[in-house]
Structure 1
Amino acid sequence: MVGQRLEIRQGQGLVITPQLQQAIKLLQLSNQELEAFVEAEMERNPLLQRDEPTPDVSESGDGVASEPASVEAGELSFSDQAAAERGQAVDAREDDLYGDAAPGERTSDRMADEAQPGLSDWTSAGKGGGGLIDGDSERPDHREPTLWEHLQAQASSAGFSPGDHAIALTLIDMTDEGGYLRGELAEVADRLGCDLDKIEAVLAVCHGFEPTGIMARSVPECLRLQLVERNRFDPAMAALIDNLDLLARRDLPGLRQACGVDAEDLGEMIAELKALTPRPGAGFGGEPAQTVIPDVHVRADPAGGWKVELNADTLPRLLVDKRYHATVAAGARSETEKAYVADIAAQANWLVKSLDQRAKTILKVASEIVRQQDAFLAFGVEFLRPLNLKTVADAIGMHESTVSRVTSNKYVSTPRGVFELKFFFTAAIQSMDGSASHSAEAVRHRIKTLIDDEGRDGDVLSDDRIVEILNEAGIDIARRTVAKYREALRIPSSVQRRRMLKAS
C-alpha cells in the first residue's frame, strides 16, 4: 500500500563546517607553510597578535584572550583560567577538532590516560613563532647567480643581433637545472617564425658559453663539447661516446673492438671520460634550498626510554587582543559592524584553538610512533618494526586519515638523524616460521649490507643467493622482491657488479 507518513529519526553525523575544514588544513601543513598561513591570517584579522615572551607573563593577562597550550605531568591541555577568559566551554566537541574522540570523552583526558611514564616528557608547546634564526630577517642576500642568470649575462655580451638575442633567450629558458636543452628546435623555429638553420646557428654560439657542455641536447653531445674544448675529440673517443651503453655494462671487450684500441689505451680514455662533467649546470644555484626543520625532537631519557618534545621554534604563538576587541566592539554602531566584529573574534579564537589542537595531535602521534619504533632508535634500522597507519590510529584513538595528515611533511629529529614521520611506516615481510614479521625497510638495509660486503672476498651474490641467505635468517622473501628492493636501492645486477669488480 502506497501512502504518505511522517517519521522522526535520530542519528549522528559529522558536518564539515568551515572551521573544521580549517583545522584539517592546518593539520597537514608543514611548519614553513603554517608560518606563511599564520602571517596571512594576522594581516587579515586585526585581533590576532604574536605572543611575545615577557619576563612576567602571569601579570599580563588583560590583553590575552587565550593562553598558550601548557604541558604538565605528561598532559598537554588548556588551562581552566584561559578557558574562562575566553568565555568558552571546553567540552568534548571543542577539544576534539578532528572528530576522533568518542562522545563525552575529552582528548586531553585520553592523552593523560595513555601517557606512558618514561616515554614522553612533553614540554611547553612553543615560546615564539617564526622558525627563523635570530638575525636571519636582517641578513643581506648574497646568493650566487642562477644558471639562467649566468647564461643570460653571456648572451647579452655575445654580440647577437636583436633577433638572435631573442632566440638565445628562448633557448636559455628551455635549459633545465642540469644544463641540458629540453625541447625540439623545430618547434622553436615554428614558434618564433624563423628558419631552423638560424636556430641551430644561435645554439652553436651558445655551446661556447661557460660552463663547457652547457645547453647540450644529450649526454653524448655534452661530453663531446667538453672533449672538443680540451682538443681530445678523436675518432677513438668518438666511438667511445657512441657506445656509452657498453661502458655502462662494463663490456670492455666490446668497447676495445668498437674503438679499435688496446686495453691500456681504453683505460686512459675511460679515465678522461670520468673527468668530464655530465651535468654542467649542477654547480649553479637554483631556488634556495629549504632547510628541514624538525617538528619534534626525540632524546634519550637518562631514566630510561625517550623524551618526545615539540620543537618550540616551529609553533606560531598567537593570542587574541581582548582590549582591542573590546574597543572595536564598543565602537560598532550598525548591525553590519557588530556582525563583522563578532565574526573576526570567532575566527581568531578558533584559529588559536586549532593551532593548540594541532600541536597536541602531532605530539600524540609522534609519541606513539616512538613507542612503536623504540628498537630502531636504540639499535638501528635492522630493528625497524613493520608499522601502518591503522596500528597507530587504534593505539591513540584517532582516525587513520588524521594520522596520515599528521605524518605528512612532518619531521622528527632523533639520535640517528632527521626523518620524516612517514619513514617509520613500513610494509611487513613474513618470517619463515610464521612468527613476528620483518620490516621491509630493515630487509632492504640487510640486502644492501650483504652486497656492500661481497667485494671483500671476491664473491658476487646473485639474487637467488641473497634469497637463500635471507631464508636462512628466517625471512620469507621471493626473488622478485629482492630484485625490486635492489633496483630501488640503485644497485646493479650481479652480472654488472661482477664486471665492475673485474674492471677495478
Structure 2
Amino acid sequence: MATLRQNTSVATKHKLSNTLRNWLPILHSSLGDLNEIMAPFVEANPVVEIKSGYEEEFAKKIPKKILSGQVSNSRTQQIEALTIQSRSLYEILDEQIGKPLFPTPLSQKIASFIVENLDENGYYEGDTKSFCGVNAISEDEFERVRLRFAFIEPVGIAAKNLAESFLFQLDNSDISDEAYPFCVEIINSLEDIHEFSSKEHFSEAMRVLSSFKNPPAIEYQEDSAQVVPDLMIFFNDEDEIEIKLNDEYYPIIKIDTNYAVEHEFITQKIKEAKSLVDALDMRRATLYKVGLMIVEYQYEFFVGGQIMPLTLKTLADEFGHNPSTISRAIANKYIACDRGLFAMKEFFTTAIDEDVSNAAIKEFLIGLIKQENRQKPLSDMKLLELIQEKFKVKMVRRTIAKYRKQLNIAGSSERKKLYHLH
C-alpha cells in the first residue's frame, strides 16, 4: 500500500485529496460493484486498463477449509459448507411458517398462501375473499393469521401497503414508549409528514422511520445475485485463526506508461490512475482492519459462541471517522467463515448500554423460558424484572414483548396452554 505522508506541500495534499475522493465510493461499494463504480473513471482515462476479478470462478478462490466445511477445529462442530448464493425471500419465509406463530395446519396453509401472493416488493396482493370461500373460513380469521407476519423476518413483509409495513416495523423498533403513539400518527398520515415537524418527538420519529425498509423486500429483490465476501476468517492447520482478504476478486488495474509522460494531460491521467490504485489499497487495508477488530471483539462467535456487544461507535473511534461513515463502509460487505456467510453489519449489535447488547439479553431471555415453571410461566413483567436485575439496565415491558416475538416465543398464557398439550 502506498504511504500517504502528511506534510504541508500542496502537491501531497492534492494527492491525498484525490485518493480520499476515490476511496470513499470505492469503500462504500460492495466487492461485486467495484467495476461499475470505477467504470466512469476508467472510460475517461486512456492510460488505465482494468481486468475484472470476475473472470475466474469465485469458488476456486475460497480457502478449501471453508468451502468444504471440513474445518479441523476441536472447539466447534463441523458446520454446513459455505454457499455463495444468497437465499431467496421465499426460502427465508418458508423456514418461519411453523410453530409457534403458525401452529395449526390451517394457519400454515394461510401463511403459505400469503407467501405465494407477495408482489415483488413484499406486499400481500392475494384474493383473500376467494381463498376464504374455498376454505370455509372468515376473512377476519384470515387477517388474524396474516398479521402474525409482523413478527417474522424480514419485518414489514406481507403488509398490504407502505403504512402497514411501517407499523409492522415500528413494533420491532427501538422507539420510546412516549414517541410510539406519535409515530403511529405520522405513519397514518405520511403524505402530511411535514406538518408534524414542530411536534415533540419528531426527531426521534424521523430517526426510526428513516431506518425502515421501503419496500419491505428490498434486500431480496436481487436474491439471485452472487454474494461475494470481502473477508474470509477461518482456523488454519495449527488451529490459529486467520483473516484473509478476498484479494484475488479485486479488479486489477494496469497503468500504461508507454505514453509520452512529458505531455501534461498524460501526466495528470497517470497521477489519477495511481490515485485509484491507492484508493483500492486503502479499501483493502481498511476492511482488513475491520476484520481484525471483528475477530478481536467477536472471537467467541468464531468458536461457536454468541455475537458480543460491539457498537459502530467503537469502530468509528478506532478509525477516526463518523459512525455513519463506518455504517456505509460495512454495508453490503460479507464475511465467509466456517459458520457460513455473514453480513458484516451482523457483528455490530444494537447496544442497550456500553456493555450490554440486545443479543445477550435475548440469550438470557431464552434461558429463562427454558427453565420456567410450566405450571406458572413467567409473565413479561416478571421477565422484565429478572432481566433488569441481571443486566442492571432500564427497560420497558414492551421491549421484552418485542424480543419475545422476535424469538418466536409465545406469551405466558399461550405457553401454559402449549405446556398442557405435551
Larger radius of gyration: 1
CA distance in structure 2 between the partners assigned to 1:292 and 1:363 by the alignment: 18
Amino acid at match of 1:299: F
1:326-341 to 2 correspondences below 5 Å: 326=260, 329=261, 338-341=263-266
CA distance in structure 1 between the partners assigned to 2:347 and 2:44 by the alignment: 38
SS at match of 1:412: strand
SS at match of 1:243: helix
Can you list the C-alpha shifts for 1:203-257, whole angstroms capped at 9, x where unaligned? xxxxxxxxxxxx99556225247x2xxxxx5xxx14x44433566899xxxxxxx
Amino acid at match of 1:423: E
Can you list the C-alpha shifts for 1:365-396, whole angstroms capped at 9, x where unaligned? 22122112212322411xx3322233234445
Q: What's the counterpart of residue 292 of structure 1?
A: 227
CA distance in structure 2 between the partners assigned to 1:42 and 1:219 by the alignment: 51
Cα pair 1:42 1:49 within 8 Å, conserved: yes
| 2:330 is aligned with 1:407 | yes
Between the two structures, name the one with larger relative contact order (CA 8 Å, sep ≥ 6). 2
Q: 2:357 aligns with which of 424, 429, 439?
A: 439
Q: 1:246 to 1:397 in 2, by over 3 A?
A: closer
CA distance in structure 1 between the partners assigned to 2:297 and 2:382 by the alignment: 32
Cα pair 2:132 2:142 within 8 Å, conserved: no
Q: What's the counterpart of residue 53 of structure 2?
A: 129
Deviation at 1:455, TM superposition (A): 9.7
Q: What's the counterpart of residue 29 of structure 1?
A: 29
1:32-181 to 2 correspondences below 5 Å: 32-50=32-50, 129-130=53-54, 133=57, 179=117
Q: What's the counterpart of residue 478 of structure 1?
A: 395
Q: What's the counterpart of residue 378 of structure 2?
A: 461
Q: 1:352 aligns with which of 259, 270, 277?
A: 277
SS at match of 1:485: helix
Amino acid at match of 2:291: A
Q: What's the counterpart of residue 412 of structure 2?
A: 494
Q: 1:344 to 1:307 in 2, by over 3 A?
A: same
Cα pair 1:298 1:309 within 8 Å, conserved: yes
Aligned length: 285
- Mind listing any 5+ residue stretches in structure 1 that lack a counterpart? 1-9, 52-127, 137-175, 183-214, 228-232, 251-281, 331-337, 431-435
Deviation at 1:314, TM superposition (A): 3.1
- Mind listing any 5+ residue stretches in structure 2 that lack a counterpart? 1-7, 61-113, 149-216
Q: 2:131 aligns with which of 208, 216, 223?
A: 223
Deviation at 1:450, TM superposition (A): 4.6
Q: What's the counterpart of residue 163 of structure 1?
A: none
Amino acid at match of 1:392: L
Cα pair 1:368 1:395 within 8 Å, conserved: no
SS at match of 1:418: strand
Cα pair 2:232 2:335 within 8 Å, conserved: yes
CA distance in structure 2 between the partners assigned to 1:216 and 1:427 by the alignment: 30
SS at match of 2:332: coil
CA distance in structure 2 between the partners assigned to 1:135 and 1:412 by the alignment: 15
Q: 1:422 aligns with which of 318, 322, 345?
A: 345
SS at match of 2:54: coil
Q: Provide the alpha-carbon RMSD of the alignment.
A: 4.3
CA distance in structure 1 between the partners assigned to 2:223 and 2:328 by the alignment: 26
CA distance in structure 2 between the partners assigned to 1:309 and 1:398 by the alignment: 24
CA distance in structure 1 between the partners assigned to 2:295 and 2:119 by the alignment: 46
Segment of structure 1 superposing worse, 25-34 or 344-353: 344-353
Q: 1:439 to 1:249 in 2, by over 3 A?
A: closer
| 2:308 is aligned with 1:389 | no
CA distance in structure 2 between the partners assigned to 1:497 and 1:132 by the alignment: 53
CA distance in structure 1 between the partners assigned to 2:130 and 2:367 by the alignment: 35
1:223-242 to 2 correspondences below 5 Å: 223-224=131-132, 227=134, 237-238=136-137, 240-242=138-140
Q: What's the counterpart of residue 317 of structure 1?
A: 252
CA distance in structure 1 between the partners assigned to 2:124 and 2:130 by the alignment: 5
Cα pair 1:177 1:286 within 8 Å, conserved: no
